[in-house]
Amino acid sequence: MENKSNMADDIPTVNLDDTSSAKTDSPPDSNRDSLNSLLHKTKDKNENCIDDCDLGKQCSMICTDNSNDSKARNAFCCSSMGQSVWGVILMIMSISGFIYFNPTDIMLWEKLNMRPGLPPYEWWSDPPDQVRMRVYVFNITNHDRFLAGLDEKINVKEIGPITYLEKLLHSKIRFNENGTMTYEARRFLIYLPDENTINMNTTIIVPNLALLGIASRLHDANYFVRTGFNILVNSHNSQWFVKRSVYQYLWDYREGILETTKNIAPQMVPTTNMGMLHSIYKDFVDNVTVKIGPEWGHENFFKIDKYGGREQLKGYDLETCNERLTGSTEGVLYHQHLKKDDVLYYLRKTICRTMPLYFDQEITIDDVPAYRYNLSEKAFDRIKNDTDCYDMEPSLPDGLSDTSKCYDGLPLVASYPHFYTSTKPEEYVTGLEPSREKHNSFVVVEPLSGTPFRAVARMQCNMKVSNLSDFNIKPYDRFSNLVIPVGWIEYSQEGLPPIIKNTIYFMVVILPPLSTAFICTTLLVGFCLIIKQIYRAKRDLFNRKIDRLTNNKVLSFETETFIKVPS
């Protein structure tokens, strides 16, 4: 009985309602102590988890500390919530970049606003000196034979080019509330002696433009007016062909008959200087309003809304001519996101109209993919079954366009150089050599930004002589119904400044793959962060279950008892 009592005393008792450690009267057991130390070793190691995080070490997946001080010291790398939030943010940003806005779209969208201080505005407001203007004149080689009736047609010889820099200045810039911008565009020429081989003092023989121009305007006047004009011609001893230097012909072409006619009928002769370039650049200042801003979208960016406060050029009206300037450009910038089926309308006041350019081919220029648009070869043809705003009486043949309204009523017509689109260029004069390569017009545009990398616009100015048979004088009859070339001009934009070219190259060639790689990387990082947190949550749940089991007193007692009982 005594032994049984001692054995009962050796059996440990546990109060299941008490959360404190189990108390026994038996002496300590070395096996039980070692088991308890093993079961609680994990808990002891957790005390240094936060210290490890502070030292940049990787934390245990079961690192837990519910104290306020420990939370304050917990590094962000150990915060499941923080990494989960960053994962979601990165994935949303990546998906948005793929679907809605990538960096290139953001740059183009910002360009729509033309904000002062940013590169698109600064480049446009002070355009680079990249445009060359080359002018060609015609020397008449058979004027005596033509007047004598020995040659049926006038023969011409081209002289040129005479090269100038065309400078464009934008000033008086004003942003309007309706999403448009108004500015003043001024153009003038700077002679480039280093790029010229033609002596400006070289003498050429040219038609008397003043005599032929006034006679054409009076061709249907009454007998007394025509007789008075003929007397005026004889009193000034005006010749049908005159000698002028190249400089005079371009800039200071004056005739005595012009001075007298202006004094008699100033409405007929608004100027006494008929120099070819003087007539174009004497007042080349225009007030232009263009569309900008997101409300107009990419397809209407920088298209003309008003020109000189009007929707048409001076001399035209909507009642008789439905040819509007709205939707055209000056050629400095085109709209963004160009497509191959887009028609680019280019306004040049020297030809008194807008000209359509159509897609021709894809090319690469300065390592940048671009589209080439060509001016239609029928641009100067007559319009069938619709209002033709650029015809005159009698009707002009195909290949000629009336420009008299822009040149004070002088009978001037525009055409391609050397009449190259005409079916019979030799029907006007001889000596011309029409060539598509030398005489067509085109523009090479980077389609994403609408920036022209290369542009060539060519046009020829001609004098359209009316039927002068009513004058009943033989020399007049020789010139009746002739189209005499005065000269032709080439406007050539030759490249872009390095800073603009490099910016376009970065935006078009480098940025798209770079942004794609960045978006893919952020998407992958965000995905990995979220997967990592899902895995961590499962591990934490599993570890909490293990902790509950190791902290269970009954389980500890049963385990120790099982180990203590001899096998």
Rounded percentage of the chain residues whose pLDDT exceeds 70: 78
DSSP for 414-477 reads EESGGGTTSS-GGGT-BS----HHHH--EEEEETTTTEEEEEEEEEEEEEE----GGG--HHHH
- pLDDT band of residue 272 (cuts 50, 70, 90) is confident
Looking at residue 359, its pLDDT comes to 96
Judge whether 433 lies within some domain.
yes
Asked if 164 and 187 touch (Cβ cutoff 8 Å), the reply is: no
Span 242-271, average pLDDT: 89
User: What tokens were used for 40?
Assistant: 């609680």
CA 114 – CA 124 distance, rounded (Å)? 9
pLDDT at 240 over 90: yes
pTM of the model: 0.76
Judge whether 37 lies within some domain.
no
pLDDT at 242 over 90: yes
Asked if 434 and 420 touch (Cβ cutoff 8 Å), the reply is: yes
Judge whether 196 lies within some domain.
yes
User: What tokens were used for 443?
Assistant: 């523009």
User: What tokens were used for 99?
Assistant: 């679907």
Judge whether 29 lies within some domain.
no
Q: What is the CA radius of gyration of the chain?
A: 44
Domain of residue 460, residue span: 129-496
Closest CA to 449 of 518, 492, 500, 519: 500
User: What tokens were used for 442?
Assistant: 């085109």
CA 167 – CA 128 distance, rounded (Å)? 8
Looking at residue 42, its pLDDT comes to 44
Closest CA to 450 of 302, 330, 334, 299: 334
Span 219-245, average pLDDT: 91
Span 234-240, average pLDDT: 91
**Which range, of 111-120, 223-232, 316-325, 389-398, averages the lowest pLDDT?**
316-325
Chain-wide mean pLDDT for the chain? 81
Span 417-421, average pLDDT: 92
Span 428-438, average pLDDT: 92
pLDDT at 30 over 60: no
pLDDT at 27 over 70: no
Q: What element of type H or E holds 305?
A: strand 304-307
pLDDT at 85 over 80: no
What would the 3-class secondary structure string for 265-291 be? Answer: CCCCCCCCCCCHHHHHHCCCEEEEEEE
User: What tokens were used for 231?
Assistant: 């007397």
Specify the 3-state DSSP secondary structure of 190.
strand
Q: Which of 49-53, 183-187, 409-413, 422-426 has the highest mean pLDDT?
A: 183-187
pLDDT at 198 over 90: yes
Decide which of 45 and 386 is more confident: 386
What's the burial of 245, exposed, middle or buried (CB within 10 Å: 0-12/13-18/19+)?
Answer: middle
CA 302 – CA 444 distance, rounded (Å)? 17
CA 87 – CA 78 distance, rounded (Å)? 14
DSSP for 21-60 reads PP--SSPP-HHHHHHHHHHTHHHHHGGGHHHHHHTTPPPP
User: What tokens were used for 471?
Assistant: 């004058």
pLDDT at 71 over 70: no
Span 377-391, average pLDDT: 85
Specify the 3-state DSSP secondary structure of 310.
strand
Q: What element of type H or E holds 89?
A: helix 80-99
Specify the 3-state DSSP secondary structure of 489.
strand
Judge whether 445 lies within some domain.
yes
What would the 3-class secondary structure string for 252-267 be? Answer: CCCCHHHHHHHHHCCC
CA 392 – CA 403 distance, rounded (Å)? 10
CA 261 – CA 52 distance, rounded (Å)? 102
The HSE-up count of residue 15 (CA atoms within 13 Å, CB side) is 7
User: What tokens were used for 436?
Assistant: 């598509």
CA 306 – CA 504 distance, rounded (Å)? 29
Q: How many domains does the chain have?
A: 1
Span 436-459, average pLDDT: 93
Asked if 167 and 200 touch (Cβ cutoff 8 Å), the reply is: no
Judge whether 514 lies within some domain.
no
Looking at residue 267, its pLDDT comes to 79
pLDDT at 371 over 90: yes
Q: How many CB atoms are closer than 10 A to CB 48?
A: 13
Judge whether 403 lies within some domain.
yes
Asked if 249 and 204 touch (Cβ cutoff 8 Å), the reply is: yes
Q: How many CB atoms are closer than 10 A to CB 243?
A: 12
Closest CA to 128 of 505, 450, 497, 490: 497
Judge whether 311 lies within some domain.
yes
Report the C-alpha dihedral over residues 419, 375, 413, 405, rounded to 10 degrees.
Answer: 180
Span 97-117, average pLDDT: 79
Phi, psi of 362 (to 5 degrees): -90, 135
Task: Give CA angle at 40 (37, 46), nearest 5°.
Answer: 130
Q: In sequence order, which residues have a C-beta less than 8 Å from that of residue 526 and are 6 or more positions away? A: 86, 87, 88, 89, 90, 91, 93, 94
pLDDT at 59 over 60: no
